[in-house]
Amino acid sequence: MSETTAVMKKEDTPLKPTLQLRSVAPEVDILENEDEILLYADLPGVTREDLTINIDNGKLTLTGIRKLKAEGAAVWEELGDVEYHRVFSVPQSIDTANISAELRDGVLRLHLAKSVGAKPKKIEIKTA
């Protein structure tokens, strides 16, 4: 057997496909009022079980995975499994114990409540 033939010989071990998701930054709207910062994130196809929201050391991290079930043989694919990932800096004025989240129709609504000291306060002026 020549060297050329040995190099081209097919190995008997099967190749394992690797699952590598395309990473996408979700589009967001951020609104602020006196009581909270409200973040809307567009996460189509992400379920509650496949969504992770973490806040640590002044960083808010959103990670969600959309898994599409293939039915039948694919003729054309433009959608597919995707990982949504986005990181935000969070001000220290956020009360981390008072954060709530809702996921409905592919839109995450995240309420970041402000701490009492961060809310605007009206100062009363007294006359002498």
Decide: pTM greater than 0.75.
Answer: no
Q: Give the domains, in start order, of the chain with CATH numbers.
A: 23-69+79-116 (2.60.40.790)
What CA–CA distance (Å, rounded) separates 36 from 26? 21
100: exposed, middle or buried (Cβ count in 10 Å: 0-12, 13-18, 19+) = exposed
Cα pseudo-dihedral 67, 19, 43, 115, rounded to 10: 130
40-88: pLDDT as tens digits: 999 999 999 999 999 998 899 999 999 888 787 777 777 788 999 999 9
87-113: pLDDT as tens digits: 999 998 899 889 999 999 999 999 999
What are the residues whose beta carbons fall under 8 Å from the beta carbon of 27, sequence distance 6 or more? 41, 42
